[in-house]
Amino acid sequence: MHPLDLLIRQARLPDGSRAQVAVKAGKIHQIASPEVELGDAHTVLDLQGDLLCPGLVDGHIHLDKTFWGAPWQPHILGNSVKQRVEIEKQLLKTLTVPVEQRAAHLLEQAIANGTTLMRTHVDIHPEVGLRNLEGIVQVRDRYRDYIDIQIVAFPQSGLISCPGTLALLDQALTEGADVIGGLDPAGMDQDIAGHLDAVFSLAEKHGVDIDIHLHDPAQLGIFELEQIIQRTEALGMLGHVVVSHAYCLGMVSADLARTTAEHLARAGIAIMTTAPGHLAFPPVTLLRELGIPVFSGSDDVRNAWCPFSKADMLERAALIAYRSDFRTDAELSTAFAIVTADGAKVIQGATPSFSIGAVADFIVVAADSIPAAVATQPLKKYVIKNGQVTVRKGELSRPMSLVQQV
Ligand SMILES: [Zn+2]
């Protein structure tokens, strides 16, 4: 019997210092300088000066939508969210690979790339019922030693305009979904009050957080944000509401963006951005200066909406930095915080710390510093989840293929 589960020797910490880290029962047991004798461990990793950083957080992904694990699907163009939703439905119907296997393929990619905590949206509408949710709940259970997954019940086909969806969302929140989603109250449902009242009342009924996709542009999107702010404050949901995308914040004047952001900050609403290449996106620096949690996610990975992405949140941090014209070490460190601490704070309600008793979720990369890791996006030499080494040299360490089991 070893006194320690894991001993990480010769680690370079984000502050540049060298240290060794002892892990017991999934938690940091001791942090010491390299020369201290910490005792025997079941697993010993000598990092030889490689960087030990927190596990990555993918705060917005769609595991159920991916084509990963199925043959390549040529992208079909669509001009609106509604059109794309219909194209997606038709494409997914043609796939013979079940949702569990597709999701598992994508999940393994995300895990190998260092993600240890994830929020996935799952489509809920009458044509699929709760089938996608059941599949993702099964996958979540299968991979529980590798990653923590929070599930959002997501009305991709609309809520008011798609009869039967509301009852399914209600049911989903009793059958594995943790968060209630929403989507373009104006653009999808043409009923801002009806859509938001339904989402907020489900959140109140089940005591869950809210995460609303908002693609609606410019002034329309700003109006909807103000409606979301009003309801968040009225129900005292400070710290429990997210708006994903919120492109509108990047489409209006700097003055209006600031005023709206001040209201968002007052209501404790967080913003998720993927820093998309083809669209305006929220001003990350302004939002963070106002104290708004800004986090990120892979969103669409090889699916009907987007053929790209490797579900690598270090790559996403680099994209956020690139699109925001971040160049200094402080700015690159901000991009890293967006894909680690800030995401964890939104999803779990607390910022993980590097201290005795904290959960031992780490990645190890060959880099001098966090800014260097963001700029160069090196291979994850190790991924450590709850003190267990789950990935070595970019490959999952496992006794058999979990993809085949689901
Ligand atoms: Zn999304």
What pLDDT band is residue 322 in, cutting at 50, 70 and 90? very high
Considering the domain architecture, whether residues 229 and 291 belong to the same structural domain is answered as yes
Q: Are residues 337 and 190 in the same domain?
A: yes
Number of domains in the chain: 2
Do residues 193 and 310 share a domain? Answer: yes
One domain, residues 270 and 361:
no
In the block, which residue shows the tokens 């509408």?
125
Q: Based on the domain organization, do 365 and 291 belong to the same domain?
A: no
Flag whether 54 is in a domain: no
* Domain presence at residue 404: no
Q: How many angstroms does the Cα of residue 318 sit away from the middle of ligand 1?
A: 19
First and final C-alpha spacing in the chain: 33
Parallel/antiparallel/unpaired status of strands 294-295 and 270-272: parallel
pLDDT digits (tens, 9 = 90+) for 135-185: 999 999 999 999 999 999 999 999 999 999 999 999 999 999 999 999 999
Tell how far the Cα of 45 is from the centroid of ligand 1, in angstroms: 37
Domain that holds residue 255: 64-348
189 with 73, same domain? yes
Residues 202-233: tens digit of each pLDDT:
999 999 999 999 999 999 999 999 999 999 99
- Residue 40 Cα to ligand 1 middle (Å): 45
How many Å lie between the centroid of ligand 1 and the Cα of residue 310?
A: 16
Tell me whether residue 55 is in a domain: no
With CA atoms as reference, report the closest residue to 133 among 125, 142, 141, 122: 122
260 shares a domain with 135: yes
Torsion of CA 382, 386, 388, 390, to 10 degrees: -50
Between the alpha carbon of residue 324 and those of residues 210, 280, 314, 334, 365, the distances in Å are 27, 11, 15, 11, 24
Residues 284 and 321 in one domain: yes
Mean pLDDT over the full length of the chain: 95
Taking every pair of Cα atoms in the chain, the longest distance, rounded to a whole number of angstroms, is: 66
Same domain, 26 and 88: no
CATH code for the domain in which residue 118 is found: 3.20.20.140
Within-domain flag for 399? no
Cα–Cα distance between 309 and 261 in angstroms, integer? 29
C-alpha of residue 245 to centroid of ligand 1, in Å: 8
Q: Please report, rounded to a whole number, the percentage of residues in the chain having pLDDT higher than 90.
A: 93
Q: How confident is the model at residue 278 (pLDDT cuts 50, 70, 90)?
A: confident
User: Could you give the C-alpha distances from 168 to 73, 98, 197, 304, in angstroms and in order?
Assistant: 29, 21, 16, 23
User: Does 400 map to a domain?
Assistant: no
pTM of the predicted protein model: 0.96
Residue 15 CA, ligand 1 centroid: distance in Å: 34
Q: Is residue 186 part of a domain?
A: yes
201 Cα–ligand 1 center, Å: 22
Residues 362, 223 share a domain: no
> Who surrounds ion ligand 1 at CB < 5 A?
299
What pLDDT, in 10s, does the model give residues 22-58?
A: 999 999 999 999 999 998 999 999 999 999 999 999 9
203 and 305 within one domain: yes
Residue 56 lies in a domain: no
Paired tokens of 161:
């305009």
Q: What's the CA-to-centroid distance between 333 and ligand 1, angstroms? A: 25
**What's the confidence (pLDDT) of residue 323?**
96
Would 402 be classed as within a structural domain? no
The rounded Å distance from CA 84 to ligand 1 centre is 13
**Ligand 1 center to residue 280 CA distance, Å?**
16
CA of 302 to the centre of ligand 1 (A): 13
- What separation in angstroms does the CA of 17 have from each of 39, 343, 369? 21, 25, 10
The domain that contains 19 carries what CATH number? 2.30.40.10
Q: Please give the pLDDT value at position 400.
A: 46
- Percentage of the chain with pLDDT > 70? 98
- Separation of 365 CA from ligand 1 center, angstroms? 28
* 343 and 359 both lie in a single domain: no
Structure tokens, 322: 């690139």
